[in-house]
Structure 1
Amino acid sequence: MSMLLLSLETSSPICAVALHHIPDGRLLGQSELRLEKSHSTHLTVLIEQLISNAGYVLTDLGAVAVSDGPGSYTGLRIGAAAAKGLCFALDIPLLAVGTLPALAHQVAARTPRADAYLYAPMLDARRQEVYTALYRADGTEVLAPTNLILDAGALAEHLAHSPLLCFGSGAAKFQALAGDQTNTLFLPDVQPSAVSTGELALAAYHRQQFQDVAYYEPFYLKEVYTTTPKSVSK
């Protein structure tokens, strides 16, 4: 029986994959590449190499999980296309894991006295905006994912009740505005991880929270604006 879970994280500049054993949740391997715009050329190679290095073949996969967003529009599209292609070809289920809850899970799992904090993953959304949400250590959602325009008073009502841990690619922008608020802590160098995506996907797998492979689209959170190139006068 095919009992391996492959997880893809492409919502950020990091292109990452992880492989878990579904019955016991054991991590079998992970691989990531920290190169800008590497997803389209390297994701398939990372998948093939990881599965081969772990001693398996593609047909040993029992499910594929993908980072659902928000995040890089192009990265999310590439991850979704790869995941859907594998699920179609192998006739296996697709799982989608939010980038923000996966980041919060990643930090909470490694935080002493984890229940004492609220977790605020922040992804850079350009200008003074971040994609963010608030979670408790057990994953309970306190504030739903939103594209937040930052100012010094952002999240103030939540800070009045619990210390806040802020992390992710957008946290530095908030730190510059918030200053030295005593109830806010900022964690550097926290990036989305395919391992955390896989850990949450394992729970979703056992709950059979599968996506419709034909109609699945990533959660972009806000519209993507495109422009028509100007014609060149001859």
Structure 2
Amino acid sequence: MLILSLETSSPICSVALHQDGVLLGQSELRLEKSHSSHLSVLLEQLLDNTGYTMHDLGAVALSDGPGSYTGLRIGAAAAKGLCYALDIPLIAISTLQALAHQVAIYIGKPKSVLYCPMLDARRMEVYAAVYTHNGQEVVAPTPLVLEADTMAEQMAHHRLLFFGNGAPKFQPLVAEHPNADFLTNIEPSAIAVGELAQQAYLRQEFRDVAYYEPFYLKEVYTTTPKNRA
């Protein structure tokens, strides 16, 4: 089973290819606003470099959100287009769960902590959730305004590991808390999406290609450019 995975929820445009859960190749581009112009190129290069074509794919997986509205829309459009054209399943993986997964597999004693990925939502807001080492949801994905008592209930009973591009805003608020630990430079990756997608495929957890929409978590606000007002 060949699964192509897309991660476009952040400024990083990332793609990966897995066969039966084994990573065959991965490529990413760390350029702001590059998704629309470079995603298709990354996909084609990845398949060419690994010796496959689009018609070899058994499924396409994508990062479901939350995250960048524009990035998620671009990823969804690409994934849905491929699935429709190739008549293959669409798999959506929570961005926050994938982040937690990629951290948990590298922790020496993964059961000793809970995992709290945080994605920047501007100002003092983040998108966050809490998971166990095996992906069990403890706190569902939610938008949070960061304050000193954020996650206080969880930290009262467990050691929490915070990471993601929203975590640095929270660190000064709980720097002295004995149950708050932080990891830096943890970014969303298509590799983690692909690893979880293999499990989802075996469970036959597919999305409706025609009606799928990314999980934005909160309403998107748009404004009219000043030159059009």
**d(CA) in 1 for partners of 2:25, 2:60:** 15
Matched residue count: 229
- Pick aligned residue for 1:120 from 113, 116, 119: 116
- Pick aligned residue for 1:135 from 126, 131, 134: 131
**Which secondary structure does the structure 2 equivalent of 1:95 belong to?**
strand
Residue 21 of structure 1 is matched in structure 2 by 19
- Cα deviation, 1:14-56, whole Å, max 9, x if unaligned, reads 000000003xx11100000011111000000000000010011
**Percent of counterpart pairs with the same letter?**
68
Deviating runs (4+, > 2 A) in structure 1?
228-233
- Pick aligned residue for 1:41 from 34, 37, 40: 37
Gaps of at least 5 residues in structure 2 are: none
- Cα deviation, 1:124-160, whole Å, max 9, x if unaligned, reads 0011110000000011100000001100111000001
* TM-score normalized with structure 1 length: 0.96
Gaps of at least 5 residues in structure 1 are: none
Residue 145 of structure 1 is matched in structure 2 by 141
**Which secondary structure does the structure 2 equivalent of 1:41 belong to?**
helix
Note the C-alpha offset of 1:229.
Answer: 3.4
Residue 64 of structure 1 is matched in structure 2 by 60
In the alignment, residue 205 of structure 2 is paired with which amino acid? Answer: Q
**d(CA) in 1 for partners of 2:73, 2:15:** 15
- Pick aligned residue for 2:199 from 199, 203, 222: 203
Residue 7 of structure 2 is matched in structure 1 by 9
**d(CA) in 2 for partners of 1:93, 1:164:** 35
In the alignment, residue 14 of structure 2 is paired with which amino acid? Answer: A
| Pair 112,35 (structure 1): closer, same or farther in 2 beyond 3 Å | same
In the alignment, residue 109 of structure 1 is paired with which amino acid? Answer: I
Q: How does 1:72-83 map to 2 (within 5 A)?
A: 72-83=68-79
Residue 102 of structure 2 is matched in structure 1 by 106
* TM-score normalized with structure 2 length: 0.98
